[in-house]
Amino acid sequence: MKKIIKRWLRPLIKTNIIEGIIQYQRFISDWRKYKKLEGAEPIKLKDSYPCLFDRSETFSPGSHYFYQDIWAFTRIYNSKTPLHIDVGSKAEFVSFLTAITNIEFIDIRPLDAPYLKNLKSIAGSILQMPYDDNSVKSLSCLHVAEHIGLGRYGDPLDPKGTIKAARELARVLAPGGNLYFSLPVGKPKVCFNAHRIHSPKQILEYFSDLRLVEFSVYDDQKRFIENTDPVSVENNKFACGMFWFTK
């Protein structure tokens, strides 16, 4: 019963009550129509799972992750690297990378995916990575560093978390190696304890020992712009800045 109540209340929580009631009227009407169709399977209340807001004429990803993942994936694929190290990025991104190269994944919460070939999951911190100085030739960290030090994922509180993460990534990157890095950019602020937003200038300062190869962005206007000027989004509120660095 708890599961049923949760499923039926969730759509009302995600939108205004009036719109939710309208959509539930459609849902119940469709349920009744479906039950009368020839060959319709039995429908039990305990199995009901209302999905009320998926009817739309178009589908837009509207997501930082959608564009940053393909941005980084394409560049890693084109590099033909035999081994790539990822620190804390989304599991889906890491899983797709295993189809093109060997992956070592570092996170304080190891990825439990024993059936994926080419994946080695390692428990570790972005603040103390298990690699020697100048040893990693291909490295990514997507939408991770903005969280470091805010305690959201069980890490210690530290106002310098993002800066320290950047320094550690720069430390392990090999000369001539590639770092694919992303996080929210725009006017700097802390949205405790979700994330920080940094200006592109701040990130360039954090990685001052590295050379910027490319900056791309998914901006506040929901535009994916490749190879642009970092200054162009300094007044955004919550853009996704994608930085390709080398040492």
The total number of structural domains that make up the chain: 2
Q: Which residue has the higher pLDDT, 178 or 15?
A: 178
Produce one character per residue of 167-205: b if its CB has 16 or more CB atoms within 10 Å, e if not: ebbbbbbbeebbbbbbbbbbeeeeeeeebbbbbbebbbe
What pTM did the predictor assign? 0.88
Provide the pLDDT for residue 102: 98
- Enclosing domain of residue 8: 2-47
Provide the pLDDT for residue 2: 80
Indicate if the pLDDT at residue 56 is higher than 80: no
Provide the pLDDT for residue 34: 94
Instruction: Using a pLDDT cut of 90, give the percent of the chain over it.
Output: 80
Judgement on whether residues 95 and 35 belong to the same structural domain of the protein: no
Q: Is the bond leading into 193 cis (omega within 30 degrees of zero)? A: yes
Q: What rounded mean pLDDT belongs to the chain?
A: 94
Provide the pLDDT for residue 143: 97
Indicate if the pLDDT at residue 14 is higher than 70: no
Judgement on whether residues 152 and 183 belong to the same structural domain of the protein: yes
Judgement on whether residues 10 and 109 belong to the same structural domain of the protein: no
Judgement on whether residues 114 and 204 belong to the same structural domain of the protein: yes
Across the range 27-40, mean pLDDT stands at: 94
